[in-house]
Structure 1
Amino acid sequence: MHKLLGLGKPRHPAISLVQSKDVDWTLDLYDKNYIWDFYMIGFKYHDSSFLYGRKYYDFEEGTMVFTSPGQVIKSTNPPTKGFDEGWTLYFHPDFIQQSELGKKIKKYSFFSYASNEALHLSENEKTKISQCVNEIEQEYSQNIDTHSQTLIISNLELLLNYCNRFYDRQFYTRSNNQQDIVVKIEEFLTNYYNSEQARQNGIPTVKLCAEKVNLSQNYLSDLLKKETGKNTQEQIHFHLIEKAKNMLLNSNATVSEIAYDLGFDYPQYFGNLFKSKTGVSPNKYRTIN
């Protein structure tokens, strides 16, 4: 990666902070697909855009983006202005594999967010992030000793935890927009279960819900969790169980017929889910109500 960007050899074999001003932008980097083997955290990488998955990142001042290993990335055009203010932190998964951070890295769901779900920072937040990144760079730039990896990983985890906090802030400060998304999801699930779609197409998936509001699956689940206390899968089950209760009490259909109408291939799966959510079986619910 250093060679590709026209940089010297990295000072550490598994983690590197790259300043945008140090990259040789005259190299032929554009309109090509790249697959990184490592995690990437970028801050205003340059005044340009690159393709991640199927969407573009358009970088603005104070914007952070995150990608995970194995993702296809395509830089679409050279930077024009302000690119020297940015940086990108790369780290290989092997570097954190044996640590507590390695065990829970998947919990930082923003590594799977889509391009339109970037983190936008305030001035104070930028300062916090910069402090963490500077500590990481200073630690791996000096003589490596037995404490180096522990201290680098500690600062890396602190950086990710701050990003979690700032994403929470972003969810709350955009509450009106988030509420619109909640309403759209609730309307979609209500209409889905009130039509023949469930019987014809099965139980709606998290992926389908995310597509309806043009968000990634992880971002939508995190958004719904913040706004309603239920992630996307829990919202799907909530609407399903409410519909099931109504059908059990207001129709003569058998439990098996209701299960098929709700999109289940096997009635016993419906029975297990219903009992896990209500504490009683569908037949028992029907008799006690």
Structure 2
Amino acid sequence: MIHETSVPELLLAEEEGSALLPVLCRSGYRVLALFDPPADRLGRRSCDFSDAALIGCTAATQPDDLPARCARVAAFRPAAFGIGDAERGGEYSWFRYRADEALHLSAGEQCILTGCLDDLQREALRPTDRYCRCILGRLVRRTLDYATRFRERQFITRELENRALLADYRDFLDRYLSSGRMPLCGTPDPALCAGRLHLSEAYFTDLLRFETGHTPESYFQRVRLDTARRLLLNTVKPIDRIAAELGYPSVRHLYRLLRRIYGIAPDACKR
């Protein structure tokens, strides 16, 4: 059932078919869809909760292969509720996750998010006044912030599996750097790295940032510099050759990085 709200930029629905979601996405809405109970194809793992599942989607991530029915749907236009700037600043990146990277909720988390949607619906169905849009914006933001909090909790729940993924990623970077391809091919494309791990680029980026504090670019540069230090310590290769094989523009550039990050100079590693 779709509820007519006092604000045209907001749509709320209950017990609605999931075929509605791509239509809303193509119309420029950000869509939250709550599924109860979740289906296995939403990417639930053995370590995840199983009381409900939540996805967010946009025109760029139109979902497919979803359960037939959504328990709740909330769709809004970001600019109308002050969310556009937050998205441009990197918040709510989980809207760009795939549907099989859904958030799997505990009963308590489901209750909180359901309460947020109830509050949103209650305000949206009131007669409009000069406070309406401001209050709705705060309620939308509150709902998204709770979803973000629970997304972070899920990274913690999946700690062991995530460590294995990052170990695979580090192994790939080590092999890439030792292959000699860096001077010709440059920094590996984050989208391709995510694909190797069977993740969306957005999920991969958030996972890496949560686990290491780095973006894909900064993490790769740290691994590259760590490789340079290891080669300086454990091989007889000259410094200029190491710099060239790892794609550094000059030995002087490598010197500066080693001093800044590790507090050492390359020639010190050779003593």
TM tier relative to shorter chain = 0.7 to 0.9
The residue that corresponds to 2:62 in the other structure is 73
1:165: how far off? 1.3
The alignment yields a C-alpha RMSD, in angstroms, of: 3.7
| Counterpart selection for 1:279 from 260, 264, 270 | 260
1:176 is aligned to 2:160: yes
Matching residue's letter, 1:119: L
| 3-state DSSP of counterpart to 2:54 | strand
Matching residue's letter, 1:104: A
For each residue in 1:26-54, what CA deviation from the matched residue of structure 2 results, as whole angstroms up to 9, or x when unmatched? xx9799997231101110189889xxxxx
* TM-score, normalised with respect to structure 1: 0.75
Residues 198 and 261, structure 1, Cα contact 8 Å, conserved in 2: yes
Partners of 2:30 and 2:220 lie apart in 1 by 31
- Distance change in 2, residues 1:273/1:15 (3 Å): farther
1:223 is aligned to 2:203: no
Partners of 1:133 and 1:166 lie apart in 2 by 15
Task: Between 6-15 and 180-189, report the one with greater CA deviation.
Answer: 6-15
The residue that corresponds to 1:43 in the other structure is 34
| 3-state DSSP of counterpart to 2:152 | helix
The residue that corresponds to 1:62 in the other structure is 52
For each residue in 1:74-102, what CA deviation from the matched residue of structure 2 results, as whole angstroms up to 9, or x when unmatched? 656883xxx3x611110012212xx3x43
1:63: how far off? 0.8
Task: Between 86-95 and 243-252, report the one with greater CA deviation.
Answer: 243-252
Residues 173 and 220, structure 2, Cα contact 8 Å, conserved in 1: yes
The residue that corresponds to 1:127 in the other structure is 111
The residue that corresponds to 1:53 in the other structure is none
1:15 is aligned to 2:10: yes
Task: Between 192-201 and 120-129, report the one with greater CA deviation.
Answer: 192-201
Partners of 2:24 and 2:75 lie apart in 1 by 18
* TM-score, normalised with respect to structure 2: 0.79
1:61: how far off? 5.3
| Counterpart selection for 1:212 from 179, 196, 202 | 196
| 3-state DSSP of counterpart to 1:279 | helix
| 3-state DSSP of counterpart to 1:211 | helix
Q: Work out the number of aligned pairs and report it.
A: 260
Matching residue's letter, 1:149: R
Partners of 2:221 and 2:43 lie apart in 1 by 36
1:166: how far off? 0.8
| 3-state DSSP of counterpart to 2:62 | strand
Task: Name structure 1 gaps, 5 residues minimum.
Answer: 1-5, 50-55
Task: Name structure 2 gaps, 5 residues minimum.
Answer: 45-49
1:104 is aligned to 2:86: yes
Partners of 1:223 and 1:48 lie apart in 2 by 23
The residue that corresponds to 2:75 in the other structure is 90
- Distance change in 2, residues 1:195/1:258 (3 Å): same
Residues 15 and 90, structure 1, Cα contact 8 Å, conserved in 2: yes
Residues 186 and 247, structure 2, Cα contact 8 Å, conserved in 1: yes
1:139: how far off? 1.0
1:71: how far off? 2.1
Matching residue's letter, 1:206: P
- Distance change in 2, residues 1:107/1:18 (3 Å): same
For each residue in 1:90-142, what CA deviation from the matched residue of structure 2 results, as whole angstroms up to 9, or x when unmatched? 0012212xx3x432124111111122211000000001001111111111210
Q: Deviating runs (4+, > 4 A) in structure 1?
A: 6-10, 28-34, 45-49, 56-61, 74-78, 247-250, 257-260, 270-274
Sequence identity of aligned pairs in percent? 22
| 3-state DSSP of counterpart to 1:18 | strand
Matching residue's letter, 2:119: E
Residues 44 and 62, structure 1, Cα contact 8 Å, conserved in 2: yes
- Distance change in 2, residues 1:46/1:10 (3 Å): farther
1:169: how far off? 1.3
